[in-house]
Amino acid sequence: MDIKILGMGCPKCVKLYENTKKAVEEKGVDATVTKVDSLPSIMKYNVMSTPALVIDEKVVLTGQVPSPEKIGELLV
């Protein structure tokens, strides 16, 4: 599974990255979690609000910082 956190490094982006890493560990999912902080790269996903969570090239949420438990539900 390929997971990307889109954001320019704001506190919410950092928190989403941390929560996502924790969710992956708790679920035992085989996934790569990557930060994408380049504006041109973020724009390719047509995201209007960051942070955004992308799972296997599909934007699954934007502008939110859900708990690790909520993120874990998206990893199923």
Q: Which two tokens stand for residue 34?
A: 């990557």
10 a catalytic residue: yes
Question: Residues in the chain, how many?
Answer: 76
Active-site option among 1, 10, 39, 43: 10
| Structure tokens that stand for 23 in this block | 């969710």
Is 13 part of the annotated catalytic residue set? Answer: yes
Give the closest residue to 16 by CA, choosing from 70, 66, 74, 75. 66
Choosing from 3, 5, 6, 13, the catalytic residue is 13
- Catalytic center residues: 10, 13
